[in-house]
A and B are shown apart, each in its own frame.
Chain A
Amino acid sequence: GQQVMQIPQYQHVQEGEDFTTYCNSSTTLSNIQWYKQRPGGHPVFLIQLVKSGEVKKQKRLTFQFGEAKKNSSLHITATQTTDVGTYFCAGTDSWGKLQFGAGTQVVVTP
Chain B
Amino acid sequence: DGGITQSPKYLFRKEGQNVTLSCEQNLNHDAMYWYRQDPGQGLRLIYYSQIVNDFQKGDIAEGYSVSREKKESFPLTVTSAQKNPTAFYLCASSIADRDSPLHFGNGTRLTVT
Contact = CB atoms under 8 A, between A and B. Distances in A.
Contacts, number: 45
Contact of A48 (B43, B98, B101, B105): B101
A58 to B, nearest CB: 14
Q: From DSSP, what is the main secondary structure of chain A's interface residues?
A: strand
Q: From DSSP, what is the main secondary structure of chain B's interface residues?
A: loop
Chain A, interface residues (CB within 8 Å), range: 20 to 34
Interface of B: 40-45, 90, 98-99, 101-107
14 contacts: A6-B42, A30-B99, A35-B102, A42-B104, A42-B105, A42-B106, A42-B107, A43-B104, A44-B104, A45-B101, A48-B101, A98-B45, A102-B40, A103-B41
Interface of A: 2, 6, 9, 30-31, 33, 35, 41-45, 48, 50, 88, 90, 92, 96, 98, 100-103, 105
